[in-house]
Structure 1
Amino acid sequence: MEGIAALAARVSQIEQLVTGMSSAAVTGASGTTSTAAGAAFASVLEEQVGAGTSTSTSTLSAADLAPSGETRINGDPLPVALAGHENGRLPEAAVSAVGDTGHRLFEPAARQLEKLLAAAQAQGVDIGITDSYRTYETQVDLVRRKGLYSQGGLAAAPGTSDHGWGMAVDLDLDAKAQAWMRQNAGAYGFAEDTPREPWHWAFQT
């Protein structure tokens, strides 16, 4: 936890350093385009990761931790209402409660999930929610505990998770509920889009 706290503190310092930097696009070694500020952010994070602040269960590279661009991890464009925000750092106004479940999602996703849950209940199907919107810090902690998906774990690289946009939900599903979701979730905008994670349902715009 000390390593994560140190990383979080360093991220805050870096964000202050890059404030006001040029937003001119640069091309990184991977061939992806980012802003100059993002490149600087990634460069310093790479130094921090190399200094031993990576998680205990997975190796995080600077690319893993760099601020995400304006597209979701699956390549779909972000909803206009989320443009200009950062994954895992959404303002309170951008997320909405899902009924009285204690969970939050991007507002249109929350409303559709409420309708889905009501329809399932009306048909005698019980669906629970285990996870929804995740802050950036929560994403970092999840990687520490469950490992990176790309390395066989169950967590997306911090700053890239659909959960960080409030656009995905993890559900508690028995066999009956799983079958119901596969047959009906699409009508409410949700899709089972992640191999090895039948509980993960993403809201499609």
Structure 2
Amino acid sequence: MGIEAISSRIMEIQTTIASMSQRTAPVAASASVSTAASSTSTASSFDTVLAQAQSLTSGTSTVTASSASRSTLNADGIPTDLAAYGNGKIPHDALASIGTTGHRLWAPASESFEKLLAAAKADGVDIGITDSYRTYESQVDLAERKGLYSQGGLAATPGTSDHGWGLSLDLKLDGPALAWMRANGAEHGFVEDVPREPWHWTFQGET
């Protein structure tokens, strides 16, 4: 696959150079300055596409650069790579599975929570998951069934829930599990951030 991609890029480079050469070759002496500028542009284009082809062999690309943004939150605490989708509108493939639980979160949150589960299990503590990423439609449904938190219910205003960004989990916690989470959750980036809801934990980044 890599060799085919490189070969394709080389063909594109050759085609680009040939095309530019045809445009710039028949230039009169009075247009020598324009010819020089076109040559510079051609060289620049060549360097650009050549660098792109070389990146295929070295394993570096724009994907590598963008992947770094997956571990960042913006000033509003929203994952930078998910912000454009909108709360509760994130595509299935843009989120990561939490092991084999059937639940999904923002990739860094999922990875950290899997580590948390392993650490809890090593301490003899079982932690279950009731809910994770929540679509906008499911937020609306929850608000209708359980009422808004601001009015004494249990649901955030649809479109504002951290569940809608793949950051929050509702957990199944008995007494020992809740105590363990309160003692160790922050180490893995999860905090108990909603009063009256000890089951609700949100990822804010590992410490």
Partner of 1:194: 194
Deviations 1:122-173 (A, max 9, x none): 1100100000000000000001110000000000000000000000000000
Partner of 1:104: 104
For 1:115 and 1:155, the matched residues in 2 are separated by: 28
Is 1:168–2:168 an aligned residue pair? yes
Partner of 2:26: none
Partner of 2:132: 132
Partner of 2:38: none
Partner of 1:49: none
Partner of 2:94: 94
Give the alignment's TM-score, normalised by structure 1: 0.62
Is 1:182–2:185 an aligned residue pair? no
Q: CA deviation at 1:119?
A: 0.6
Partner of 2:118: 118
RMSD: 1.5
Identity of aligned residues (%): 65
Deviations 1:91-141 (A, max 9, x none): 123211100111111111011110000110111001000000000000000
Q: What amino acid is aligned across from residue 195 of structure 1 in structure 2?
A: P
Partner of 1:24: none
Q: How does 1:35-74 map to 2 (within 5 A)?
A: none
Deviations 1:73-107 (A, max 9, x none): xx733221112111000012321110011111111
Aligned residue pairs total 133
Give the alignment's TM-score, normalised by structure 2: 0.62
Structure with the larger helix share: 2
Is 1:146–2:141 an aligned residue pair? no
For 2:156 and 2:94, the matched residues in 1 are separated by: 21
- Asked which structure has the greater CA Rg, the reply is 2
Q: CA deviation at 1:191?
A: 0.2
Structure 1 residue runs without a partner (length 5+): 1-70
Q: What amino acid is aligned across from residue 113 of structure 2 in structure 1?
A: L
Partner of 2:76: 76
Q: 2:192 touches 2:200 (CA, 8 Å); kept in 1?
A: yes
For 1:179 and 1:148, the matched residues in 2 are separated by: 27
Partner of 2:19: none
For 1:93 and 1:107, the matched residues in 2 are separated by: 10
For 2:178 and 2:145, the matched residues in 1 are separated by: 26
Structure 2 residue runs without a partner (length 5+): 1-72
Structure 1 consecutive aligned stretches of length 4 or more whose deviation exceeds 4 Å: none
Deviations 1:41-81 (A, max 9, x none): xxxxxxxxxxxxxxxxxxxxxxxxxxxxxx99xx7332211
